[in-house]
């Protein structure tokens, strides 16, 4: 009988990679893909009885009865224990930290405090948030999950003093409130918010909201796309 694993994710790029992984490992594993939080319940999980559960870019709380009874692995774009908490990519970029890690860690009660299975170097100094997430997804599904499945590593305690990040709020995407000192900071601010499901950088002009995306550097200027929204 094949061993079983579950992949729980919602982002389109992760779903595509999960389906590919399911095909690649079809001879060894039966893989259940969960894309809806309502399906992440103990009854479903216990009936399927997975060896591992992987959560790339999962936005909801994982129930305690699930992570206490099954080996649950999440992925975090910081070099843990640095950067525990919300909005890790954005919090790194606003701090001008471009060389980081993707950490695969065991789910425990305290947020991002679990033991580490492995880490991969990752550069976030260019590209939109969506491009960064897509590239990270490729590493997670082509390198990190296969490494865990093939080697069954014993996770190790995090080393060092934790540094905590706060989850960003939509209103923090307002560019007017920022005190930019360079074009680089403007470029970073726009690109770090440019991804599926994220509140894009914006400015308001009366009843109009102008959102920015698809930004790139061009000699001594930055160019990109904007959209004007009538908020009435």
Predicted model pTM: 0.93
> What range does the domain containing 29 cover?
3-165
Domain identity same for 14 and 50 = yes
* Residues across the chain: 232
Domain identity same for 81 and 137 = yes
CA–CA–CA angle 74, 116, 189 (5° rounding):
60
Domain identity same for 154 and 192 = no
- Tell me the two tokens of residue 6: 């579950």
Count of structural domains within the chain: 2
- Which has the closest alpha carbon to 76: 131, 116, 134? 116
Domain-terminating residue out of 165, 180, 211: 165
Domain identity same for 100 and 145 = yes
Q: What is the pLDDT of residues 122-169, one digit of tens each?
A: 999 999 999 999 999 999 999 999 999 999 999 999 999 999 999 999
Quick one: DSSP state of residue 78? Answer: S
Domain-terminating residue out of 147, 165, 183: 165
Domain-terminating residue out of 165, 192, 221: 165
Query: In angstroms, what CA-CA distances link 217 with 47, 135, 176, 211, 231?
Result: 51, 20, 20, 18, 30
Q: What is the pLDDT of residues 118-135, one digit of tens each?
A: 999 999 999 999 999 999
Domain identity same for 153 and 209 = no
């Amino acid at each position: 009988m094949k061993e079983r694993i579950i992949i729980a994710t919602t982002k389109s790029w992760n779903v595509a990679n999960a389906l590919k992984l399911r095909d690649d490992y079809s001879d060894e594993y039966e893989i259940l893909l969960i894309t809806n939080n309502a399906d992440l319940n103990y009854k479903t999980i216990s009936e399927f009885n997975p060896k591992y559960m992987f959560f790339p870019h999962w936005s909801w709380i994982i129930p305690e009865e699930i992570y206490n009874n099954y080996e649950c692995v999440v992925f975090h774009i910081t070099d843990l224990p640095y950067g525990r908490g919300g909005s890790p990519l954005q919090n790194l970029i606003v701090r001008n930290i471009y060389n980081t890690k993707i950490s695969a860690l065991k789910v425990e009660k305290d947020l991002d405090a679990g033991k580490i299975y492995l880490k991969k170097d990752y550069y976030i100094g260019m590209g939109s948030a969506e491009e960064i997430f897509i590239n990270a997804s490729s590493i997670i599904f082509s390198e990190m999950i296969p490494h865990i499945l093939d080697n069954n590593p014993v996770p190790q305690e995090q080393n060092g003093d934790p540094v905590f990040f706060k989850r960003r709020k939509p209103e923090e995407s307002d560019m007017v409130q920022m005190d930019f000192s360079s074009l680089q900071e403007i470029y970073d601010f726009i690109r770090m918010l440019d991804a599926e499901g994220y509140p894009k950088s914006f400015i308001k002009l009366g009843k109009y909201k102008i959102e920015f995306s698809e930004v790139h550097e061009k000699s001594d200027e930055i160019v990109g796309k904007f959209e004007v929204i009538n908020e009435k």
